[in-house]
Structure 1
């Protein structure tokens, strides 16, 4: 074996391992000290990125190092680290869906409470104040803020627009828009509108429950497929190393990188197929946001 044949594979593996470990260390340090926020960057966005890194970067680095030591495949180590890092984006979303579902259900319950509170000549402003304190936990803080704004003499239409911005949900916009349109009604007219609104919100809750259950099954299936594939690859590498020996060469690592890229494209595609777009917001300000 001449010097060129010996050095080329070792050099390639060392470069790949150095890139993977160096990138992992950089992410780990960034998770600890945070990112330097450029001028003009929104604070909320930087906080979300830092929180995401703190939660996932350490686990991703640890898994990548374990895979590198166990398999001695730098490409597999980088792929495993990226899989852990982006696991919530590929297989998550259940928590946010539960929050959105709870919010729409709380809106339906609150709309029914509004309808039942209105009596005689009582208007929407009085009904909001009476029903805000008994609303669901996900909605009560926003409704109490709405009541405070109304009590401070803010016009009802503007207060409802602010509520829509606070909730930031397309389904909530439907209810709030109808409330704005019916704000001048009294008695039976307003109660009829609120009854229709509550029925529409309940129908939306049922639809979202069915979609949520369907997506949960899809996520479980994809997770099982990923787990089986990873287990088979690790098992072959550990118990039958001669079969996977070609992947230890630079050419094999290049082929493995291509396979992992196709696998990642498939996962992203499945995630997009299972995504159900939420109703788009339409109660948005056309001018600069008010302070």
Structure 2
């Protein structure tokens, strides 16, 4: 029995359809891997190669997570699809898919990065309370904390120290730090620093400890929320992989994709790609929770405060 290209495509498509149905049922009943399960070494390497296993979203963990490598691979694949299938727009769509793989598969990277930054703020505030002692000003304590500041907020704290050393008013420097963090809970940190800069009262160390405990609870709460939101994101990721695999298999079938080689077919293909992206955006917005409004926002300051902070 000879395996033809059409039968091979049909077999692969059937397997993918079954896998898609299984994932749809699993998503419908709310199944998800247990958070305490320890991943095997092979699974960790596979997730790293897909860009899903990095602890710091700002650091690429795969070749396509690096912009230059991803754009080069997108160009090569786009040309290959165009030459192999004769689809000009098919090559364009394939190149766009490769270039946008991190956006397509890592739907929760922004939230995870924000949680990591908030956890770093909690650690920095706790260290700041340990450094601050009687006879040492808050500004001196902040400068000393620069040696042990967590990496996710190293840039923000470095700029805060630079502003203080440049002669900025401490209140304006702390407001600038809050603007860079752009988080309501970080406004509480800046507000505490501003209040101490204005009255220089005692008990700052205890207040910083209490604030660090509150930040720790906030980090825990956000991680629990993100764990619940991870279930639909996982289903969305699998649906995306399934759709991309169908697109890749379809390119190998000449008779099936022949209508897309016409000018009208090219426009339909581009329209389908745009519709797919719009659906992805819609699904992401459904899982996005509006952040709490900030109370130290620069838009709420008086003109005098804005001019003094320049």
**Cα-to-partner distance string for 1:142-178 (whole Å, 9 max, x where unaligned):** 4455445545654321232233345454442231123
Give 1:268's aligned residue. Answer: 281
Write the mapping of 1:269-288 to structure 2, written as runs, cut at 5 A.
Answer: 269-279=282-292, 281=294, 282-284=296-298, 286=301, 287=306
Q: Is the 8 A contact 1:160 1:180 kept in 2?
A: yes
SS in 2 for 1:139: helix
Give 1:106's aligned residue. Answer: 120
- How far the C-alpha of 1:261 sits from its partner, in A, is 2.9
Verify: 1:186 aligned to 2:201, yes or no.
yes
Give 1:85's aligned residue. Answer: 99
**Cα-to-partner distance string for 1:210-257 (whole Å, 9 max, x where unaligned):** 34445555444333222222323443452x543443334444444434
Aligned residue among 156, 160, 167 for 2:170: 156
CA distance in 2, matches of 1:258, 1:151: 55
Structure 1 residues without counterparts, runs of 5 or longer: 1-51
Bigger radius of gyration among the two: 1
CA distance in 1, matches of 2:88, 2:155: 50
CA distance in 1, matches of 2:106, 2:135: 48
Write the mapping of 1:121-270 to structure 2, written as runs, cut at 5 A.
Answer: 123-140=137-154, 142-143=156-157, 145-147=159-161, 149-150=163-164, 154-183=168-197, 184-188=199-203, 190-214=204-228, 217-238=231-252, 240-270=253-283
Q: Is the 8 A contact 1:109 1:198 kept in 2?
A: yes
CA distance in 2, matches of 1:233, 1:166: 41
How many positions carry a matched residue from both structures? 238
- How far the C-alpha of 1:106 sits from its partner, in A, is 1.9
Give the TM-score normalised by structure 2: 0.61
Query: What is the aligned-residue RMSD (CA, Å)?
Result: 3.5
CA distance in 2, matches of 1:132, 1:236: 55
- How far the C-alpha of 1:131 sits from its partner, in A, is 3.5
CA distance in 1, matches of 2:97, 2:285: 17
CA distance in 2, matches of 1:172, 1:235: 48
Q: Is the 8 A contact 1:133 1:140 kept in 2?
A: no
Change in 2 beyond 3 A, CA 1:236/1:142: closer
Higher relative contact order (CA 8 A, sep 6+): 2
